[in-house]
Structure 1
Amino acid sequence: MVSWPSVIPRRWLPAPLLAAALTLVVFPATSEGQQGRPRLAGEAADASSRSAKKERVPLADWYRGPVRYLLRRSEEKEFRSLRNDAARALFIRDFWRSRDPDPRTPENEARLAFWQRVADANHLFNESARPGWMTDRGRIHILLGAPNDTQEDLNFQVPGRRLGGRGLLRWIYHGKVLTGRHEPTFVVAFVVDESGEWRLTDDAILSSVYFDPLSVKALQETSPLLARLESALADSVTDLGAALDLGRMTTPADETPLIDTVSTETFYGAIPLSARWDFYPGAGDGRTLAVVTVFVKRAELASPASGADPRPLILGKLEGATGERVDLGEGSFSPAEENAGLSPERILLFQARTLARPGTYRAYVGLFDTISYHAGSHKATLEVPDLSTGRLAISPITPLSALRPVTRRADVGYTLPFILGDLRVLPRDRAAFPRSEGLMLYFQFTVPPAQKASRLEMRFFRREGESLVPAGSPQITDDPSPVQGWSFPLAGWPAGNYRLVVTLTGQEDSQTATQHLDFEVTAE
C-alpha cells in the first residue's frame, strides 16, 4: 500500500522531507496578465516594427524588375498609378510586408528568399546577354525553385523546326500535393532557339510527364504548357510550392481555398502529426481564447540546405455548427524557441491562437513541408467553452512539458506564442508524465463581476479498474489567483492512470465550478 504524502508548498518543508513529499510550485499572475489584456497579434498591426529597405532601382521602375514575377495585375496597375516616390515607397513596404511569413522576426524571410533566387538565377544562367533573372530559365527558377530532376538532350531535334533549335531541357518537379486536378509530378520544358538560348516551350508533348523522345508523334496533345503553368501558379490549392514562392497565401482571398484543402484533400507522403486545442478567458467580448499547438517529430520534416531548423507552412480553421468560421492563415503559427537544434527524434512545437465564440466546432490543421512537399493533417470536434467574466468557470486543464516565468518583461501578455501572461507555457501532446519529469499543468478561472473566488481545491485520484481511489490529501488554496500554474514532483508515484479534480468555490458557498484532468504516470 502506498502512503501518499500531503501536498505542502515546497518553501515550508524541512530539507530532509523535500525529496519525499508531493510538492507544488505556484506561479501567481501579475495584475498586468489579467487586466488590460493586449489584443491578439493580427487584431492590431504593428505599423512601426519595420522600415522598408531602400531599393537600388529608381522607384518608378521598380515594377519592371524581378518583382514583376510576383506582382498581380491589380498591384502593377496600382503601383503605376502612383505619382511620387513617397507613395511608391509605402507601396513597396506594404507589398513585402503582406508576404512576410513571420512579422515578429526582424527580417522578411520571403523577401530574402526571393532575392536569393534572383541572385542564383543571375549566377546560373549567364550565357545570355540579358541578366539571368530575365531569361526563361531564370524566371522559372525564381518562381518554382530548383527542379528535383533534370533531363537534357543537346542533340534533340525539336519537331517542326528545320533550322537550328536543336536541344531539349526538361525540369521535373516531384511530390506536389495531389488534388485531382493536376498530376503530382510537374514538368517544365525548354528548347534551344535559333540564337542558342534556352526558351520556355508551350509544346504540351515536350512537357508531358509521359514524354518519350522516340515516339513524339504518338503522344496526344493536352493543354498547352503555358496555360497549365499559369493554372498551377495561380492555384494555391494544387501547387503549394509555386504558391509559396509567389507569396500568394497571405491574403484571405488566396489562402481560404488552401485552408479548405486541410479538410477535403488526400495528401501524398502524409506526415504524422498531432494537435491539441486549449481554451482560456478571452478579451472580455464573450469570445474565448483558443490556443492550438501542433506537434510533429523533427525527423518527419526535410532539413533546409542551409542547415536551419524546419519551418513548415501550417494552416488551420474552425468551422462552427451555426456557420461561423475562423481561419488561421499563413503566419498564424510560430515555432517554439525550444525547437532550435533538436535531434531528429524530438518533437517540434508550433502554436497559433485566435478568438472564437462558445459552441461546437470542427477543427482542422494542415501542415505542408515546403521542401519535400509532403503534408499531414489533423481533424477534431471541439466544444469551445464559455469562459466569459460573467460566470464562475474553470478553463480546461492543460498538461505541460515546460512551465517557467517569462524572463523578458516586454514579452508579458497574450500576443506571443507559448506565453500566457507572465508565464512561458509549453503544452504536452498527451497527458502522460514520466516520473523523472514531474507533473506540470496550467489553467485559469473566471468569476462574476465584483466577486472573487474564496477557495480552490485540488484532489488526486488513482484509477483502479472502474473505481477512483483518493491519492493523498487535498490541496486547498484560499483566495486563489485566477491564473494557476503548477509543478508536482512524481518521485515515488506508482506508474498508472490518475485523475485530478479541481473545484472552485465562489463567495457564495453554493456557487462551485469543477474541472478535471485524466493523466498517466509512466516509469520513464
Structure 2
Amino acid sequence: MRAIVLESIPSLPGVLPPRRRRGDLAAPRYLRGVHNRGANLLAALALLACGLGPAAAGPPGETARRSGRTDYREWIHGPVRYIATRSEVRLFRRLDSPQERLRFIRNFWERRDPDPRTAINEARVLFWQRVAEANRKFTGTARPGWKTDRGKIYILLGPPDDIEQDPYYDTRIQDVAARGLMRWIYYGLRHAPTSAVTAIAFVRTGDNDWRLSDDPRFASPTFNIYAMEGTSGLDLWHSLGGLGNFIDSVPWAGGTLGTAMDLGRLQEVPSAGELLRSVVRSEEFIGNYRGHVHAEVLHGAGGVPILALTAAVERRQLLPAWDGSATSLAQRLVATATLEPDDGAERAPVDIPEQAFVAEPRPADGDPFLRLQAVRPVPPGAWRVRVIVVDRRGGGAAVVESRVEIPEPAPEAPRVNGPILAAALHETPDRAPSGTRPWTMQGALVIPAMRDTIPTDRPVGVFIEIGPARGADGPVALDWRWERTPPGAQAPEAYGRKGHLDDARGPRAWRFAPGELPPGRYTVRFVARGENGAETRRVLAFTIAGPGDAPDAR
C-alpha cells in the first residue's frame, strides 16, 4: 500500500480555477488515497441509578414541603454531608433546578440501598434512625445532636459496643477548660487499623459539650482511663497520624468518612465502572455538563458493522480548566455507554466499557469540544444509545441519549465509510483498517465534528473511504458533486465541478482552512459503483455559519 500524501491545492475563494485536475473541488486541500487490495478508555463519582424507596423521615429539604415550595438547596448541608463524597457535594452544588436536586437525592439513596430487591431502602431508614437518635441523645448544647462530634460518630459508626467515662478526668489539654474524658469502644470495625478494638475519645469543653480528641493517649486501645499513665501503643497511633487521620480512614479501605452505609456499618463506594454502568442503565439521570454524541457506522472487509461512537463535552464547562494536553485529557475524562434494542427485536444489550473509550489524540486549540471515542461491533438494527462522560477532577458529568440505525450490509454493493464531517483531519503512520482502533481510518486521523454547523472561523473537513463489495477485489468508481445554498437563497447551486475517479478505493478527504468555504448550506453527494454495477449512495449536509450565526459551541 502506498503512503497517503497531503497535497496542497492553490485556491481562489469560491471559484474553481481553470485547468484544475478532474475531480478536484474548488479550494480544498486534498488527502489523496490509493486502493488497498488486502488491508482492511475514581475517583468514584456519585451519579446513580434512579428511584426512591420508602424511607424514614429526613431533614428539612428532603421530606418537608414536597409540594414544591422547597428547592432542596440545603439538603447537602444536613446530616447527609457526613456520608456524601466530595464529588457528590460538588455535583449537587452545580444543579440548577429543584427537579434536578430531587432526582439527585433519589439517586443518592438508591446507590446506598444494600438490597434493591426489598421494598424499603434499609440503609436510608437506618441513617435517619441514627440521626433521630443522635438528636435525642446528645442534647445540652446550642447545636442539634447530629451536629455534635458524638452525633457525627454515632451516625457514621452506630452506637458503641462499650463506653468508658470519667467526668473528672484531667485531660491536661491547654485549650480545654473543663474536666472529663469519654471513650467509645468498638469491636471489630471492618478494615480498621486495629481491627480488634477501636477507641474514639471525646473530651469535655467549657460549654459542657464533648468534642473529638486527637490526643493519641486517649485513643490507644491499651489506655486505662482510671490511671494517669497508660500510653502503650503510642508508636502505632503516631504512625496512623492521630485521630484526625484515623476517623478519615476507618472503616473503609482507601476511603473516608464520606462514604455510603449498610446495615450496622458503612458500605464501600462502588468502583467508577460500576457507577458509570448503573447510571447509563437508569431511566433517570443527572448531568450538569452539556454532552454531545456522534455515531458513525463503519463497514469492515469482514462484513460486520462497527459502531464508532464519539462522546464529547464542551471545553468551557470544565472546572478547573483543562490544561490543554492530550495526556491530561485521557486522565481526566472517562466515558461508558450502553446500547439497547429500539425496534422490538430480541437482541442482547451492548455494553461499551470505559476502557474502550480513548481520548482524542490531538485536541486542537480553539476547538470547543473535548472528545472520547470507542469502536465496537454492533449487530444490525435500531439501537437506543445512552452515553455518560465524567470529569474525574471537576466532578461534573454529561449524559446523552441518542438513537442509531445499523443497516444490514449490502453484500453486492461497494463498502462506503462516511462521509464524515470532520473538525480535523491528520495523517498518521497507523495504517490499521477502519474500525479496529478509535480515531484511525487507514492512515487518516479523523476527528468528527459534533455539530453540522461549523463557524466560518473554524477548519472543516470531509472524509470518505471506499472499498469493494465483500469478497470482491476490483476497482470501485466514485462520482461526487458539491452543492451550496447561499444564505437567504432557496435553491442550491453547483459548487465546483463534478468529480469522478475510475478507481477510488481507499480513504479520501477534503480539508478547508478557516474562512475557505463561504457561508451557506452545503450538500455533498457520493455514488460508489462496483464492477458489477451495484451502487452505494451517500449524502452529507452541513452549514458554514457566518459571524453571529454560529452556535455557542461548535
SS at match of 1:386: coil
Q: Do structure 1's residue 278 and structure 2's residue 289 form an aligned pair?
A: no
Q: In 1, Cα distance between the equivalents of 2:387 and 2:336?
A: 6
CA displacement at 1:347 relative to structure 2:
2.0
1:215 to 114, 128, 144: 144
Q: Do structure 1's residue 330 and structure 2's residue 354 form an aligned pair?
A: yes
**Residues 381 and 305 (structure 1 numbering): CA distance in 2 closer, same or farther, change over 3 Å?**
closer
Q: In 2, Cα distance between the equivalents of 1:234 and 1:283?
A: 52
Match of 2:378 in 1: 356
1:477 to 501, 505, 515: 501
SS at match of 2:145: helix
Q: In 2, Cα distance between the equivalents of 1:369 and 1:240?
A: 24
CA displacement at 1:398 relative to structure 2:
0.8
CA displacement at 1:12 relative to structure 2:
11
Q: Which amino acid aligns with 1:280?
A: L
Q: Do structure 1's residue 295 and structure 2's residue 312 form an aligned pair?
A: yes
**Residues 181 and 281 (structure 1 numbering): CA distance in 2 closer, same or farther, change over 3 Å?**
closer
CA displacement at 1:259 relative to structure 2:
2.9
Q: In 1, Cα distance between the equivalents of 2:475 and 2:291?
A: 39
Q: Which amino acid aligns with 2:295?
A: W
Q: Would the aligned equivalents of 1:402 and 1:440 in 2 still touch at CA under 8 Å?
A: yes
Q: Which amino acid aligns with 2:539?
A: H
**Residues 226 and 293 (structure 1 numbering): CA distance in 2 closer, same or farther, change over 3 Å?**
farther
Mean Cα deviation higher: 387-396 or 439-448: 387-396
Q: How do 1:152-231 residues align onto structure 2 when only pairs under 5 Å count?
A: 173=85, 174-175=89-90, 178=104, 180-182=106-108, 204-205=130-131, 214-216=143-145, 225=156
**Residues 480 and 487 (structure 1 numbering): CA distance in 2 closer, same or farther, change over 3 Å?**
same
SS at match of 1:303: coil
Q: Which amino acid aligns with 1:274?
A: H
Q: Which amino acid aligns with 1:265?
A: E
TM-score (norm 2): 0.53
Q: Which amino acid aligns with 1:395?
A: N
1:22-43 Cα deviation digits (max 9, x unpaired) = 3441331573xx7454xxxxxx
CA displacement at 1:368 relative to structure 2:
2.2
CA displacement at 1:475 relative to structure 2:
1.0
Q: Would the aligned equivalents of 1:400 and 1:441 in 2 still touch at CA under 8 Å?
A: yes
Q: Which amino acid aligns with 2:541?
A: D
Q: Which amino acid aligns with 1:294?
A: A
Match of 1:57 in 2: none
Q: Do structure 1's residue 369 and structure 2's residue 391 form an aligned pair?
A: yes
RMSD: 5.0
Q: In 2, Cα distance between the equivalents of 1:434 and 1:259?
A: 32
CA displacement at 1:241 relative to structure 2:
10
**Residues 371 and 503 (structure 1 numbering): CA distance in 2 closer, same or farther, change over 3 Å?**
same
Q: Do structure 1's residue 513 and structure 2's residue 536 form an aligned pair?
A: yes
**Residues 375 and 179 (structure 1 numbering): CA distance in 2 closer, same or farther, change over 3 Å?**
farther
TM-score (norm 1): 0.56
Q: Which amino acid aligns with 2:306?
A: L
Q: In 2, Cα distance between the equivalents of 1:393 and 1:384?
A: 14
Q: Would the aligned equivalents of 2:306 and 2:435 in 1 still touch at CA under 8 Å?
A: no
Match of 1:260 in 2: 281
1:100-154 Cα deviation digits (max 9, x unpaired) = xx5xxxxxxx7xx99xxxxxxxxxxxxxxxxxxxxxxxxxxxxxxxxxx999xxx
**Residues 366 and 277 (structure 1 numbering): CA distance in 2 closer, same or farther, change over 3 Å?**
same
1:36-67 Cα deviation digits (max 9, x unpaired) = 54xxxxxxxxxxxxxxxxxxxxxxxxxxxxxx
CA displacement at 1:482 relative to structure 2:
3.7
CA displacement at 1:299 relative to structure 2:
2.8
Q: In 2, Cα distance between the equivalents of 1:180 and 1:357?
A: 35
**Residues 436 and 457 (structure 1 numbering): CA distance in 2 closer, same or farther, change over 3 Å?**
farther
Q: Do structure 1's residue 386 and structure 2's residue 408 form an aligned pair?
A: yes
CA displacement at 1:216 relative to structure 2:
2.4
Q: Which amino acid aligns with 1:443?
A: I
Q: In 1, Cα distance between the equivalents of 2:384 and 2:352?
A: 14
Match of 1:311 in 2: 332
**Residues 224 and 415 (structure 1 numbering): CA distance in 2 closer, same or farther, change over 3 Å?**
farther
Q: How do 1:17-96 residues align onto structure 2 when only pairs under 5 Å count?
A: 21-28=26-33, 31=36, 35=38, 37=40
1:158-188 Cα deviation digits (max 9, x unpaired) = xxxxxxxxxxx957631467261535999xx
Q: In 2, Cα distance between the equivalents of 1:472 and 1:217?
A: 74
Q: In 1, Cα distance between the equivalents of 2:267 and 2:529?
A: 51
1:262-318 Cα deviation digits (max 9, x unpaired) = xx1231x6110111111111361x421111112212232233999944612211111
- The gaps in structure 2 that reach 5 residues or longer are 1-12, 45-75, 93-103, 113-126, 159-250, 253-257, 548-554
Q: In 2, Cα distance between the equivalents of 1:372 and 1:218?
A: 28
Q: Which amino acid aligns with 1:346?
A: P
Q: Which amino acid aligns with 1:276?
A: H
- The gaps in structure 1 that reach 5 residues or longer are 14-19, 38-101, 103-109, 115-148, 152-168, 187-200
Tell which structure's C-alpha radius of gyration is larger.
Answer: 2
Q: Would the aligned equivalents of 1:497 and 1:519 in 2 still touch at CA under 8 Å?
A: yes
Q: Which amino acid aligns with 1:216?
A: G
Q: In 2, Cα distance between the equivalents of 1:306 and 1:209?
A: 46
**Residues 377 and 207 (structure 1 numbering): CA distance in 2 closer, same or farther, change over 3 Å?**
farther
CA displacement at 1:484 relative to structure 2:
2.5
**Residues 404 and 495 (structure 1 numbering): CA distance in 2 closer, same or farther, change over 3 Å?**
same
Give % identity.
17
Match of 2:270 in 1: 243
